[in-house]
Amino acid sequence: MRTVYLYHLLYLLLLVAHLCSVSSWKREEFRNCNQTPFCKRARSRKPGSCSLIAADVAIADGDLIAKLIPKNPPLEEQEPIKPLILSLSVYQDGILRLKIDEDPSLDPPKKRFEVADVIVPEFLDKKLWLQRFSKETIDGDSEDSSVVYLSDGFEVVLRHDPFEVYVREKGGKRVVSLNSHGLFDFEQLRVKKEGEDWEERFKGNTDTRPYGPQSISFDVSFYGADFVYGIPEHATSLALKATRGPGVEESEPYRLFNLDVFEYIHDSPFGIYGSIPFMIAHGKARGTSGFFWLNAAEMQIDVLGSGWNAESSISLPSDQNRIDTLWMSEAGVVDAFFFVGPGPKDVVRQYISVTGAPALPQLFSTAYHQCRWNYRDEVDVEMLFPNPEEMQKKLAAKGRHMVTIVDPHMKRDESNHLHKEASNKGYYVKDATGKDFDGWCWPGSSSYPDMLNPEIKSWWAEKFSYENYIGSTPSLYIWNDMNEPSVFNGPELTMPRDALHYGSVEHRELHNAYGYYFHMATADGLVKRGDGKDRPFVLSRAFFSGSQRYGAVWTGDNTADWDHLRVSVPMILTLGLTGMTFSGADVGGYFGNPEPELLVRWYQVGAYYPFFRGHAHQDTKRREPWLFGERNTDLMREAIHVRYTLLPYFYTLFREANMSGIPVVRPLWMEFPADEATFSNDEAFMVGKSLLVQGVYTERAKKVSVYLPGRQSWYDLRTGTIYKGGVTHKLEVSEESIPAFQRAGTIIPRKYRFRRSSTQMVNDPYTLVIALNNSQAAEGELYIDDGKSFEFEQGAYIHRRFVFSVGKLTSLNIAPSAPGNSQFSSNCVVERIILLGHSPGPKNALIEPANRKAEIELGPLHLRGGNSPDVVTIRRPNVGIADDWTIKIL
């Protein structure tokens, strides 16, 4: 079997390649915290510096509102400090929203930017209208605190003096709090004083800062927490390391600032392509909680190591582990969400209810993508396919799809029709002087459409119609690159912060969401192109909270070394935790040439990434999986084939994510939240709740330690060997595979037949692999739909649950009884049922209601050649995948 069926997508970047040595990451090109005035200021503040108290507490429009005013009135010669407006809203499912902004009635110089189009409209309908609040005097306080209901078991406390907001279990322990350390600071917009210089200069760039300082910072504490996670995108560990505190080396905070970073390093708090300001805390004692700050300006977050505040006089309840964090942003408002959990999946669901569920991808896009910058040049391509439509048709005829790059920068050239149109209509982002911003990117002098403007967004979307995008066909999908945005001659390789957007919004206020709006407009374009009937596939490099609704992301320009393979796992796990489940890293590493062993190992791990793509920089040697000799080709084919056999399972998981936000690929602790040994494990990961995968991240590894959590056993995916749970196993590994296990008590639907692309697998029969637990029971699910349209939203899908117990397998319908007005049917059958952990002996199984028998024999666990152990197999039960039936072992 050669691998032609494996290549599903062909990416073509029509660029010309050259060889030259490359330099590596240039730390000095990017601002560190000390060079960033708002960050330096916030970091240098001492606990208790905040002197604000909450006053005029009341209920209005279903919210608890208050004014934040200074405790001591200012001295006469000082300028009076204007009050801030605080409001607390409560939403279903234990979500607290806290907003703090300047008082609009006091005519601030400018309205601060609130990030648009991230919160889904459905969320606002879930608001609980508060009717009343109660007062309570907390021990030792001179002033009252106000308490409101949050959900059954939780309440919100607004402490008046000093001002503090926290969520606690009813009458009991704290969960998440804000300003407990008195670090809250809100720089209000004001008129420039005489002689004052607001400009900031960095590396020859001047930020005019016409509105002056406007930063916000505050501390957030998570109680009963052992670790904090989230706030991508950083190339770092899953459990976030402390950035300050005793024993912590001088470190930068975790930075959230979307940047096109050349050759990012594998372990750094430095901000790269995307930003999701959402943090999750988890601990054995309390469970899980979360905090999300909806703010798209540059953000810096410190994780404070225990003892960081030794000199502080503030004491907090010390009966539970606590993690303190410091959040700093250059601009915007406080619009923050507290999630109470209590389980990991609850927190993710709560976050998703605010920012929207991940889109259900087309089936084809969950298979393998083959990509390269570039294939080698248009001469190659033109020799074979003199026109792009022809090429796409040929690919489509074999069920394959193509993805092309569409970037935001537009070449400033009068002969460029689109540029002319955009500049005539005034659709570009403006520079500080009001002219079209002109920056340098691939085509040279370029401008950038202002995607904040809904009119421009829809104009952009129209450009993807078949008529407008010449040479596009229905099998063509899109990749948005460079949308941080990348500006080669801009400060820190991006757009100046004083550039101006629609509604006089400064770029500094929305920077982290620019790529998000661009991604959104492109995905909308593909939906329009298909008359609302074809799910879009748009891969984006930049992202923000909510990007999960529009497509996939990948971790950008990584490097072909073992460290980058290793860090790809925590990076993808972190993205999954924060909603962006459809994510992956470039298999093989973008820069550099992987040794065949590294490449094979990367395919073995990458086959489990939700977004599975091989990609390489133009200067690298060709590295398609078939170029490394027969043995390596076999190994990579095997890895890719594992993914294809698991596509029904993956697709079911994508649907689960689409319903609940629970990521396809999850940290172990999400499935085993009480098992402390899993909390900082980011070498292994779960695919759904049934598979555990352990990467091999070192050269010539002979043995690997794998911790298998839980009380149940685990079955090796290749050998069927059973391993005990709750133990670390030292396993021998061969080049053939990385350790992967099916959890006892689960059923995984698979498709064993080889095809040249996933499109051809649609009608293929299923194999059910049942891994029995120690009570000889198991269960699993399968979701099927047409794989491409939106009909599933009208109920056109099949959703089955398989339950095995007492020697009988039952297939149950778990789709809602009246799911909608559309239907989906499948004639696919189950050709094979494998029973792991069942003793051999039975010869027959009885199928009901058909009342016929199927043979039971010892058959191969997998069909991919080489050695396969024999396992108990029900041969050709051929029951309909969509039907109700039972199969009883006789």
Partner 1 sequence: MKMKIQHVSFLAFMFCIVSIGGSASTPSKSQLEGIAPGDEKYYKASPDTIKCKDGSKKFTKSQLNDDFCDCLDGTDEPGTSACPNGKFYCRNAGHVPLSLYSSRVNDGICDCCDGSDEYDGKEGVTLRKREVEAAKLAVVKEESELSKLKNEEKILKGLVQQLKERKEQIEKSEEKERLVKEKEEKEKKEAEEANVEKSNFVEEANSQEGKLAESTNEEKIEILENSQSDQDVIQDYDDSVGEIAHFHNSGNGGSLNSSAEQENGDYADRAAKTEEESSVTYETGRDHGTEVLPDHGTELEKYASGNTESLSREELGRLVASRWTGENTGQQTGGVDAANDDDHESHEERPKDVQDEEYQGYDSETEDDSQRDDDDTKDLVEDFGDEDHGDSSSPYKSESDDELDLSEKTTSNPSWLEKIQRTVRNILEVVNLFQTPVNTSEAAHVLKEYDESSAKLSEILSRISRLTKKLKHDFGPEKEFYSFYNKCFESKQNKYVYKICPFKQASQEEGHSTTRLGNWEKFGDSYRVMQFSNGDTCWNGPDRSLKVKLRCGLKNEVTDVEEPSRCEYEALLSTPALCLEEKLMQLQDKLDLMKKEQPQSHDEL
Annotation marks residue 557 as catalytic:
yes
Residue 274, interface with partner 1 (CB under 8 A)?
Answer: no
| Distances in whole angstroms, Cα of residue 606 to Cα of each of 10, 583, 610, 668 | 17, 11, 8, 18
Residues 393 and 473: beta-carbon distance below 8 Å: yes
Peptide bond into 816 cis (omega under 30): no
Residue 35, interface with partner 1 (CB under 8 A)?
Answer: no
Residue 888, interface with partner 1 (CB under 8 A)?
Answer: no
Residue 384, interface with partner 1 (CB under 8 A)?
Answer: yes
Give the total of residues touching partner 1 (CB under 8 A).
Answer: 108
Catalytic residue (one of 164, 219, 346, 481): 481
User: Taking the CB of residue 674, how many other CB atoms lie within 10 A of it?
Assistant: 11
Q: What is the contact mask toward partner 1 in residues 46 to 65, using x (rule: CB under 8 A)?
A: --------------------
174, 508, 601, 617: residue in contact with partner 1 (rule CB under 8 A): 617
Residue 1, interface with partner 1 (CB under 8 A)?
Answer: yes
**CB nearer partner 1, residue 320 or residue 416:** 416
Annotation marks residue 481 as catalytic:
yes
Residue 885, interface with partner 1 (CB under 8 A)?
Answer: no
Q: What is the contact mask toward partner 1 in residues 4 to 33, using x (rule: CB under 8 A)?
A: xxxx------xxx-xxxxxx--x-xx----
Question: Closest distance between partner 1 and the C-beta of residue 428, in Å?
Answer: 13
**What torsion, rounded to 10 degrees, do the Cα atoms 222, 228, 229, 235 define?**
140
Tokens of 496: 């100046």
Q: Which helix (H) or strand (E) holds 304?
A: strand 299-304
**CB nearer partner 1, residue 75 or residue 384:** 384
Site for partner 1 in 461-480 (CB under 8 A): 463-464, 467-472
60, 379, 806, 818: residue in contact with partner 1 (rule CB under 8 A): 379
Site for partner 1 in 65-94 (CB under 8 A): none
Buried b or exposed e, range 204-222, using 16+ CB within 10 angstroms = eeebebebbbbbbbbbbbb
Site for partner 1 in 749-768 (CB under 8 A): 752-756, 759-760, 763-764
Site for partner 1 in 388-407 (CB under 8 A): 388-390, 394, 397-399, 404, 406-407
Q: Which stretch binds partner 1 (CB under 8 A): 154-162, 237-245, 408-416, 426-434?
A: 408-416
User: Taking the CB of residue 375, how many other CB atoms lie within 10 A of it?
Assistant: 20
Residue 619, interface with partner 1 (CB under 8 A)?
Answer: yes
Site for partner 1 in 637-666 (CB under 8 A): 641
SS3 state of residue 493: helix
Specify the length of the chain in residues: 890
Catalytic residue (one of 226, 302, 330, 557): 557
Residue 726, interface with partner 1 (CB under 8 A)?
Answer: no
Question: Closest distance between partner 1 and the C-beta of residue 201, in Å?
Answer: 10
Nearest to 578 by CA among 662, 692, 676: 662
Query: Residue 452 — φ and ψ, nearest 5°?
Result: -75, -25
**CB nearer partner 1, residue 641 or residue 800:** 641
Q: What is the contact mask toward partner 1 in residues 803 to 832, using x (rule: CB under 8 A)?
A: ------------------------x-x-xx
- In terms of DSSP bridges, do strands 369-370 and 9-11 run parallel, antiparallel, or are they unpaired? parallel
Residue 700, interface with partner 1 (CB under 8 A)?
Answer: no
321, 850, 885, 888: residue in contact with partner 1 (rule CB under 8 A): 850
Catalytic residue (one of 302, 484, 586, 785): 484
Residue 122, interface with partner 1 (CB under 8 A)?
Answer: no
Residue 589, interface with partner 1 (CB under 8 A)?
Answer: no
Question: Closest distance between partner 1 and the C-beta of residue 387, in Å?
Answer: 4
Tokens of 317: 């309840």
Site for partner 1 in 428-457 (CB under 8 A): 439-446
- In terms of DSSP bridges, do strands 145-151 and 410-411 run parallel, antiparallel, or are they unpaired? unpaired
DSSP, residue by residue, 263-274: T--SS-----SB
Question: 507-511: long-range contacts at Cβ-Cβ below 8 A with a sequence spacing of 24 or more?
Answer: 507/429, 508/207, 508/297, 508/298, 508/330, 508/331, 509/112, 509/113, 509/296, 509/297, 509/331, 509/332, 510/113, 510/115, 510/296, 510/297, 510/452, 511/257, 511/258, 511/296, 511/297, 511/298
Annotation marks residue 200 as catalytic:
no
**CB nearer partner 1, residue 22 or residue 58:** 22
Which active-site residues does the annotation give?
Answer: 481, 484, 557
